[in-house]
Every structure is written in structure tokens, then in C-alpha cells.
Amino acid sequence: MYLLASTLLGGLYLIILFGLCFGGVAGVKYLQYIRRRQASAPPEKKAEPPKETKQPEKPKEIYYIVEKKRARSKQKLSEPKKIRFE
């Protein structure tokens, strides 16, 4: 009888532990989903008074300094050395 009771209590413990873990993971995922949905929602626009129209300014001239790529100097190989085995 004690063997059966301890087995049932162990099984009940496992079921409760599984439920707590599953609920915790599902709750965290749901909270992340809610946060993402609120963050992606467009903010409410407030009515702004119309801005005065300004004449567009001339764009400033921009100068770029462009340097030409320098080619690597090719190494000239010396004459092969002759090795004599005597």
C-alpha cells in the first residue's frame, strides 16, 4: 500500500511541476507577444498647427577627394640558386 501511495504522490508531483513550468513558459511568451504588439502599434498623432512654408535652400556643394588605388609593385624574383650535391 505504501508503494502505491508513494508512486501516486510522485506522479502527482510530476504533473504539478509540468503544469507550473508549462504555465510559466506560456505566460512569458504571451507577455512578449503583448509587448511586441504594443511596440509595433503606430503612435497616436496629435493635431499640429501647419508649419510655415519656407523656400527650399540651395543644397550645399559637397566635394569628395578621390584617391586612385595604388597598384602593388610586383616583386622581381632573383635567379634561382644552383645547389650542387657532391
Instruction: Kindly report the length of the chain.
Output: 86
In angstroms, the CA 24 to CA 17 distance is: 11
Q: Give the per-residue pLDDT at 24.
A: 98
d(CA 79, CA 84): 16
**Which of 50, 51, 28, 32 lies closest to 40, judged by CA?**
32
Mean pLDDT by 10 residues, the chain (86 residues): 82 97 98 91 70 76 82 77 83
Instruction: Tell whether pTM > 0.85.
Output: no
